[in-house]
Every structure is written in C-alpha cells, then in structure tokens.
Chain A
Amino acid sequence: MNDIPVTKSSATEPLRLHIPPHRSIPGKRPDFSYFRLPPAGETRRPVIDVPSVETHPLATALIRVLDEADEAVGDWDPHLDPEPLRGGLRAMMLTRAYDRRMYNAQRTGKTSFYMTSLGEEAVAVAQAMALNSDDMLFTSYRQQGLLIARGYPILDMMCQIYSNSRDPLKGRQLPVMYSSRDYSFYSISGNLGTQFPQSVGWAMASAYSGDTRIAAGWIGEGATAEPDFHHALTFAAVYRAPVVLNVVNNQWAISSHQEVAGGEEATFAARAIGFGLACLRVDGNDFLAVYAATKWAAERARANHGATLIELFTYRAGSHSTSDDPTRYRPEDEPRTWPLGDPVDRLARHLIHRGEWSDDRHKSQEQELTELVRATDREAQTYGTLGEGGHFGVETMFEDVYKEMPWHLRRQLRQALGDK
C-alpha cells in the first residue's frame, strides 16, 4: 500500500524557459540598470587572516577607493606614494599605446590577429604592482599590461605579434599568446580557462616545495562557465593553495553579455562562497582599489591563509578581437558612458588632484609613449612580419614537440625539407 498522498501540481500556467535578455541593443540607449554603484569608501577592509566566511558579504559589495572628486577614501586606500602611481599610470598608457599600434598593424595586414585591453589596463597593471615580480602569472589573453608593467620588452612582444625571426616563440603561437619564463609569465593558451586551475597546481607545487612565491590566475567572466573554473576553486580550497584567482568581468564575452555566463542572479565573486574561499569584488577601473584588493589577497596567500577569488568589475571598451564588430551587438556609445569611467583618466585625475600630475605632463607622456611604440615597431618590422616574411626556418616546426625528436618526426622533417 502506498499511503503517501500524491500531490498534483496546482500550477495552471505551462513552464517557461528563461533566456537571459540581450539588453544592449545597437541604436538604443545603453542600459546599466542591472548593477548598483555603491559610493567609494563604503566597503570595510577585513584583516588578512579572517576566516573566509567573513569576506563573503564582500561578494555583493564593490570595493572603490577613488570618489567622484578624485580623492582616495576609505579603508581600502593603499596610501601609495605618487612615484609608484606615476609608474602605474605610465605602464597603463604604454599598454594603451602599444595596443593601438598593434591593432592598426593587424588592420594594415602586418599580422593575422590582435586583441586590445582598452579600458582594462588597471586590472593588469595595478595587479602586477601588487604582486612580487617573481610570483607566477597564469593569464588569459587580455592581461598584456602585466608583462608591460613587469618591464618585459615591448620589442619582444611585437616580434611575437609579427611571428617574425625574433619572435621568442618562433612563430608558433597566435598573436598575443605570450610566454616568458624569465618574467614568471606562463604561456597563454587559446583554450579558454585552462590556465586557471594550472595556477592552482603551480601554487600547490610552490607550497609543496616550501617556496615563498605565490601564483595568480586570470579568467574572463565568460569562461567561468568552463569546468576549469570549478576545478580551480575546488583544488584551491581543498589544498589551501597560495594563489590569487581573478575573474575579469568586463561584461562581454564576444557578443554574449555576462548574464549568459550566469551573472544575472549572482555575482562572480559569490562563486567563492560555496567553496569556502575568501572573495573580494572590486571596481576594476579604480587603480587604487585593484591594487589594494590584490595586495590583500597576495598577503593572505603568502601567509598560508589560502586563496582569494577576486571579481574585477570592469568594461571591455574595445572589440573582443580584430575579428568582431561590437556595433553589431551593443550601442556604439556604451563604452563611453560606462558608469565606472576609464582607468587611465581616473588615475590621472587623482594624481592631478594631489598636485602630482598635470594635463601637460599627461599629454607629453602620451606623445612620448606613442613615439616610443612607433620607433620600437619600426625596429620590430625589420625582423619581419607575418605578411611579408622573415620567419623561423621550416626545420623549427619539428623542434620542441618532444624534448628529443623521435624517428617519425625526423623523417617528416626530411620530407618537409624536400629530401627523400
């Protein structure tokens, strides 16, 4: 006998499938109604060794330091001296000048592909400054500012973009997929998200070895839907890995809004809660806030208190890459009207407000960097471009597949060289 009463559904309406709406319509007004902008200085800064659960209210906050009057306010103000801030401003401006030049190089047929970081420069540059120079970076494809802030030669970066005879990666990788062991910068993958759990593995190895270096990983909000994101958080939590895990929420994954990645009902920082990780959510266009949040997470990791998930709330002001046209999927003036402004302008205005910078110095630095990039590009092109040649020899195609070349590759090499 089944004595459990059978309940019939009392619903009268049929079920409905929810598809996140595409709010940004080309030709219409930008719609930012989906987020709340708390005032700068509102968020409290916990001490670095708090239990992770005490950071969880920060998952829905937004750490902001620079207020509307360009003043640094609140608990999270890192009280940085003007000199490092001018250094950060310069690295952001150099990144922007470099991006502009390389974007145009693709447009004029000198290479196949490019991706700018326009609007997201503070994410990379402020984070590079907050980490030690030998902390290991596992980045996605839009953190070129990390390399630039660490002083990696832009000539080498350009040679990689051109896949030319001086490309450190021998022309094997799509443009922007840099790698530099000397600068503790792990090879970028075109498979989205794979680097995120690798950063946790590296951090586990560092802890296993009794090292003092930590790792940092970056992933876009779109790729958080990949299992790699889940793996990274699980392993980071289980093994308390010394790693800073960054979600760069720039609102857009090519043409898909962050809501398609699962941002409609929860923040990306809030993903940390279920894993028991610490989390911070930060205004990604506020250089001081990004620096302070990253410093907090890095100190926490280095002191064996485990990983922090940071959501960097920013905006992709440019196209995804040279292969898409944003005016096809969002209003043309959306980047200009982004409520959190531009990271370069905001830091410059802050320095001007402190009497440590001026419009004239800004303009002349812009010109200086544009000229530097132009001159470096001219040199880079003397080593070849993708379009006009100057590549590594065919024999290099067969090297580094294995440490030692097996017989079948030796045979294929002879074939490629035209020998029988």
Chain B
Amino acid sequence: MSTMSMVQALNSAMDVMLARDPKVLIFGEDVGFYGGVFRVTDGLQKKHGERRVFDAPIAEGGMLAAAVGMGAYGLRPIVEIQFADYIYPATDQLISEAARIRYRSAGEFAAPITVRAPCGGGIFGGQTHSQSVEAIFTHVCGLKTVMPSNPYDAKGLLISAIEDDDPVVFFEPKRLYNGPFDGHPDRPATPWSQHKASEVPEGYYTVPLGQAAIVRPGNAVTVLAYGTMVHVSLAAAEEAQVDAEVIDLRTLLPLDIEAIVASVKKTGRCVIAHEATRTCGYGAELSALVQEECFYHLEAPIVRVTGFDTPYPHALEWAYFPGPKRVADGIRQALAD
C-alpha cells in the first residue's frame, strides 16, 4: 500500500499495465517527454521507452483514428485527450468508428481503446477547460463511460478499462486530481493523503466496470452522484444533517441499476447531482430509470441538481458550480413532500 493522489494512482495504473501487457501503449499531446499537462503520465516514457509512450500531433481526430487502426491490429492503445473539452474533433472516430466496429464487422474487428480525458470545472478553466461531456458518450451505443471519484477507484477502474475489449471513455475530474473537493472553494484545499481512498496498492488490481459504490449509507434519501459531485454530495448531506445514502456510480455505462433500485426502494426519495448541464444530461436518464423502476416506492418527485444550461463561465465559476448548498437544497426539497 502507498498513499497516492489521483494523479499518482492513474499513473500507477498505466505503469502496471505497460509492464504487464506489451500491447498497451500511450499517446497524446505532451504525454511523452513532459509527462502530460496534469503530470498523469509523468515518468512513464523514461521508464517504458519512447516506443510505448509518445507525443501526438494536436489532432484529436487523428489520435482516435490511429487508435482505431491500432485496435484493429490487436493493440490496446490509451489515448489522452488533454481536456474533455477538446474531444469533439475526435467524436466521428469515436462514435461512428470505435463504437461501431464490433457491430458492423459482425465481431471480426474490435476497438479495445481507452480514451482518458480530464473533465469538470473548479479550476477557473473557463468554458473550454471545464466541461463535463459524459452524456454525449453515454448516449452512444457501443461505448462504455467511466468517471472515478478517488485514487483507489481511479486506478482499479482504469486497469479495467484498459483490459476491456470495448472502447471506454474514461473521464477524470481534474478538480480531484490532487485532493478531494467538497465544493467549498473558500476553504483550504486538502490533499488526498488525509482521505481513506488514497490508500492504493502498488501492484495490479481492478475495480470492475458497471459497479456502483455506496459511499455513505443512509435511509432518508438516495443521492446519485459521480466524480467531483460525490464529495459535494457527502458535504451536503452533512450540512443538511440528513441521513442520506450517497451512491457513487463510478461507471455510467453500463450502469449499476440494481444498486440504484435497491437504495431508492429503501429510501423512497432520490436526488441526482451532476456538474454537467441539465437538459438531456445524464441525470435525465437516471431520473427516467428511477421513475420506471421505483415509481410505486417514490414518496416525492425526483430532484436534479446540476450545472446550469449555460457555457461554463470564468469569473462566475462558483455561481455556476452546483455546490453543497444547492445539493443540500435539493435534498431538503426531496424530503419536503
């Protein structure tokens, strides 16, 4: 066991997989010699060589296309998209190609690709360095979508993603890279070392895709969250002094529907929290599923707490961010009826 930040845990996952599987390679903008703008691939080129970890031209579509071709050959490429906001030029290769190749070739070819992308706000990144774009990809059949909330899960989920035979879009909440964040920007930042989930095995282990985690058991209301909003939701439950059950979805697709249904049937109330914009966000799908599966157990309307349907503003970042107060208000609303 070591104490690791999320950056170190993700780095360790790739280090382990580079050593275990010669078919694994990493490329992306600035990931080689420099080690990535967030330092997630730091030292990997030096340790595993330029052939395994190298810089790519600034062409996200080209990177994904190269990865699709490599996947067809039989390799397991890991592509770093420097910011999730930059993923759009790659979407044709990701949506029309990687996600569809197994189906359209009747299983002859596959795209065992992992696409890593830092997402979310809270770092004054403005509208082009703060987006949460997960719902674009959960909408695409053939893709799997993952978002960890802590170092232990980040490493175990990333190893699962690399080993998965289908393309996985792996979003890393960049505000969590170096410490948990409860949504209070005015308070001093805390490092991961004070958090239980920073205890990370140095070697190989997996956290399976498709399994949620109950990070706070409770009976009064279920809060569904992922990424940064897991920590915000935990803070909100404390501040509202409510016996909330907080579920960290971890994988958005395939979704752990059983964990959600079991919790909502127990509590009868449900709050969904995400940082992404509201309309057609992943919360809409969650809300529909909860309604379909748990309608007769619901005692109040489902509440969504989300980012507003505006671009992510620079100066007004904290007015935009769905912080603990907004989530606590949502919890109270779900408990009001």
Q: Is the CB of A202 within 8 A of B72?
A: yes
- B interface with A by C-beta (< 8 Å): 25, 51, 57, 59, 61-62, 65-70, 72-75, 89, 92-93, 96-97, 101-110, 141-142, 144, 165-166, 210, 253-255, 257
> What residues on B are CB-neighbors of A406 within 8 Å?
210, 253-254
- Given contact pairs A202-B72, A406-B210, a sample of 6 additional A-B residue pairs in the complex whose CB atoms are under 8 Å apart: A198-B72, A202-B69, A202-B70, A227-B89, A232-B62, A402-B144
Q: Is the CB of A200 within 8 A of B66?
A: yes
Q: Is the CB of A201 within 8 A of B109?
A: no
Q: Is the CB of A403 within 8 A of B102?
A: yes
A196 to B61, CA, bound (A): 12
Q: Is the CB of B69 within 8 A of A205?
A: yes
A168 to B106, CA, bound (A): 7
Contact of B106 among A170, A202, A204, A238 (CB under 8 A): A170
Instruction: Tell me if A376 counts as interface (CB < 8 A to partner B).
Output: no
- Distance in Å: Cβ of A164 to nearest Cβ of chain B: 14
Q: Is the CB of A205 within 8 A of B74?
A: yes
- Distance in Å: Cβ of B60 to nearest Cβ of chain A: 9
Q: Is the CB of B70 within 8 A of A205?
A: yes
Question: Can you report 23 residue pairs joining A to B where beta carbons are below 8 Å apart?
Answer: A169-B106, A172-B104, A173-B104, A179-B108, A181-B105, A186-B72, A189-B104, A194-B97, A197-B69, A198-B69, A198-B97, A202-B73, A208-B51, A208-B75, A230-B62, A231-B61, A234-B62, A400-B106, A400-B107, A401-B141, A406-B253, A406-B254, A407-B257
- The tally of residues in A whose CB lies under 8 Å from a CB in B reads 46
A180 to B109, CA, bound (A): 9
Instruction: Tell me if A97 counts as interface (CB < 8 A to partner B).
Output: no
> What residues on A are CB-neighbors of B141 within 8 Å?
401
Q: A191-B97, A403-B102 are in contact. Are A204 and B70 (CB under 8 A)?
A: yes
Instruction: Tell me if A408 counts as interface (CB < 8 A to partner B).
Output: yes
B61, B165, B257 — most chain A CB neighbours (10 Å): B61
Contact of B165 among A200, A204, A232, A403 (CB under 8 A): A403
Instruction: Tell me if A319 counts as interface (CB < 8 A to partner B).
Output: no
**Which residues 197-251 of A sit at the B interface, judged by CB distance below 8 A?**
197-206, 208-209, 215, 227-228, 230-232, 234-235, 238
Q: A231-B62, A402-B102, A402-B142 are in contact. Are A194 and B93 (CB under 8 A)?
A: yes
Q: Is the CB of A177 within 8 A of B104?
A: yes
Q: Is the CB of A400 within 8 A of B103?
A: yes
- How many Cβ-Cβ contacts under 8 Å join chain A to chain B? 139
- Distance in Å: Cβ of A135 to nearest Cβ of chain B: 12
A168 to B108, CA, bound (A): 10
> What residues on B are CB-neighbors of A230 within 8 Å?
59, 62
Q: Is the CB of B109 within 8 A of A187?
A: yes
Contact of A172 among B92, B103, B110, B255 (CB under 8 A): B103
> What residues on A are CB-neighbors of B255 within 8 Å?
408
- Distance in Å: Cβ of B330 to nearest Cβ of chain A: 26
> What residues on A are CB-neighbors of B105 within 8 Å?
169, 179, 181, 187
Q: Is the CB of B165 within 8 A of A191?
A: no
A249 to B70, CA, bound (A): 27
A235 to B68, CA, bound (A): 13
> What residues on A are CB-neighbors of B51 within 8 Å?
208
Contact with B along A138-152 (1 / 0, CB 8 A): 100000000000000
A138 to B165, CA, bound (A): 21
A238 to B144, CA, bound (A): 30
A406 to B75, CA, bound (A): 24
Contact of A208 among B25, B62, B106 (CB under 8 A): B25
Q: Is the CB of A172 within 8 A of B106?
A: yes
A81 to B197, CA, bound (A): 71
Q: Is the CB of B65 within 8 A of A232?
A: yes
> What residues on A are CB-neighbors of B61 within 8 Å?
197, 227-228, 231
A170 to B65, CA, bound (A): 25
Q: A191-B97, A403-B166, A406-B210 are in contact. Are A179 and B109 (CB under 8 A)?
A: yes
B25, B61, B104, B254 — most chain A CB neighbours (10 Å): B104
- Distance in Å: Cβ of B236 to nearest Cβ of chain A: 29
- Distance in Å: Cβ of B258 to nearest Cβ of chain A: 8
> What residues on B are CB-neighbors of A408 within 8 Å?
254-255, 257
> What residues on B are CB-neighbors of A203 within 8 Å?
69
- Distance in Å: Cβ of A199 to nearest Cβ of chain B: 6
A200 to B103, CA, bound (A): 22
Q: Is the CB of A231 within 8 A of B65?
A: yes
> What residues on B are CB-neighbors of A227 within 8 Å?
59, 61-62, 89
Q: Is the CB of A205 within 8 A of B97?
A: no
> What residues on A are CB-neighbors of B59 within 8 Å?
227, 230-231, 234-235
A191 to B69, CA, bound (A): 15
A208 to B27, CA, bound (A): 13
Contact of A235 among B57, B74, B110, B165 (CB under 8 A): B57
- Distance in Å: Cβ of B10 to nearest Cβ of chain A: 23
